[in-house]
Amino acid sequence: MEVINDTDACPQLDSGTVVTIGAYDGVHVGHRTVINEVKKMADAAGRPTALVTFDRHPASVVRPESAPLLLTDLDQKLELLGETGVDYVMVVSFDEDRAAESARDFVTSILVDCLQASCVVVGSDFHFGYKRRGNVETLTKMGVEHGFEVDGLKLVAVDGSPAQNGDRVSSTLVRSLLDGGHLARANQFLGRYHEVRGVVARGDARGRELGFPTANVSVSESIQLPADGIYAGWYERPDGSKHPAALSLGRRPTIYENQPYRLLEAHLLDFDDDLYDEQARVSFVEWLRGEIKFASLDELVTQIGLDCVSARDILGV
């Protein structure tokens, strides 16, 4: 997959491309359905595939006060898109100038001049351009002018079938499921385990004092975390090694009366090494229980031991 970060670096194309456009936050099963359709059309036409996305979620610029938390940062999104087999990904810098750009100018500069689109595939609810004034109908009219076709796909359910009765796959729904504690359903819509990334920071060492040392993973405030609770999951180190872990996400009510921030702690099973300052990838596999304030530290330690046993069973270690 070739990543294009600037219109000055547009690829040299003889046959045009089959293109799709979107934020693609999370690269969930709905996104993959669209990409698969793009690949089928491109293969039939003997053309390469291209995907246009943004370096920031457009809502973070046009309505920052209500912008959604992200399911993936840009690096993770590009990694997931690379797994789909798309040929080109164009990352459009989204700022105030881009937000003010008309739908027509976007089509001309990105789809026509840069990617030489022969067909554009989008969801039926697609909107673009200044104040989201462009839609599938607008895009279709511009396609007639510039010589590309437009395919507005119907929205899909988790199994790839046409969505009915509000069961359509969307990044908004996945965020809501994670926030509401419905991890299994969120993972089903993502088509993978929800993963967050961050640097291991030095904490207060309370986990080690209790006999269960943890890596405190500092996750960006822009990233969507699951609901507070205890989880079975995987911890991936920079060298690619994956370690089974019991995960704690929350405010540690047994230890602190009013901890003002949420903390993600990963206790790696059968592991004892220095993890400080390394980049970690943490995957949430299954919810074990909610966060509880115990009457004593002894009760907390006993429950942590049981949580580790449960995590082992779920992870198969």
Residue 54: CB partners within 8 Å, gap ≥ 6?
A: 23, 91, 92, 93, 94
Of 83, 96, 195, 265, the catalytic one is 265
Torsion of CA 313, 314, 316, 317, to 10 degrees: -60
Q: Quick one: DSSP state of residue 226?
A: -
Q: What is the rounded radius of gyration, in angstroms, for the C-alpha atoms of the chain?
A: 22
| Residues across the chain | 317
Contact 150, 85 (CB under 8 A): no
Among candidate residues 311, 317, 313, the one with its CA nearest the CA of residue 246:
311
In 268-294, which positions are buried (b, 16+ CB within 10 angstroms) versus exposed (e)? bbebeeebeeeebbbbbbbbbeebeee
65 is catalytic: no
Q: Which residues are catalytic?
A: 265
